[in-house]
């Protein structure tokens, strides 16, 4: 029998995801609005692993992620270096769509506190 090419499979996968995009977006907004607590973490590990696998300089890359109380990832963002300014703009957008947890956990509370205080 014949098997489909990888290009065809990727095309079909992308078409399926595009059709479901409104559903995924609505589900994520619902999860953000009902989030009671959050856990914010900045990870350099992925960028360092990418640096070992290739010759490009990815070690300055940071992945910011927020997980809700059920350990579901509700937000992920890549930023250059340790850029909390990029994270600040993203948090403002999240707040605009209803993300307002009662409590937020982080491994660097002083930097996040400064970020939130300077926001206003």
DSSP string for 33-99: HT--EEEEEEE-HHHHHHHHHSSS--TTEEEEEEEETTS-EEEEEEEETT-HHHHHHHHHHHHHTT-
Whole-model pTM?
0.59
| Mean pLDDT confidence for 6-31 | 88
Q: Give me the residue label for tokens 């400064």.
A: 114
Q: What is the pLDDT of residue 70?
A: 87
Residue 8 has pLDDT above 80, yes or no: yes
The mean pLDDT of 97-118, rounded to a whole number, is: 74
How much is the pLDDT for 45?
64
- For residue 19, the model assigns a pLDDT of 92
pLDDT value, residue 117: 54
What pLDDT is recorded for position 53? 55
d(CA 2, CA 50) in angstroms, rounded, equals 35
- Which is more confident, 112 or 68? 68
105: part of which helix (H) or strand (E)?
A: strand 103-106
Tokens of 31: 């999860």
Q: Please give the Cα distance from 100 to 37 (Å, whole number).
A: 9
Sign of CA dihedral 100, 98, 74, 56: negative
Quick one: pLDDT at residue 20?
A: 92
Task: Summarize the confidence of residues 45-69 as an average pLDDT.
Answer: 66
Query: Mean of the per-residue pLDDT values for the chain?
Result: 77
Q: Which candidate, 119, 44, 63, places its Cα nearest to that of 88?
A: 119
């Amino acid at each position: 029998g014949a098997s489909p090419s990888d290009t065809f499979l990727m095309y079909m996968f992308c078409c399926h995801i595009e059709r479901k995009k409104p559903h995924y977006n609505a589900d994520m907004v619902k999860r953000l609005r009902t989030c009671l607590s959050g856990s914010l973490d900045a990870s350099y590990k992925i960028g360092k692993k990418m640096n070992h696998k290739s010759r490009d300089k990815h070690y300055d890359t940071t992945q910011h992620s927020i997980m809700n109380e059920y350990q579901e990832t509700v937000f992920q963002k890549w930023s250059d270096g340790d850029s909390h300014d990029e994270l600040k703009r993203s948090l403002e957008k999240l707040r605009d769509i209803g993300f307002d947890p009662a409590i937020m956990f982080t491994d660097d509370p002083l930097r996040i506190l400064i970020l939130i205080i300077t926001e206003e």
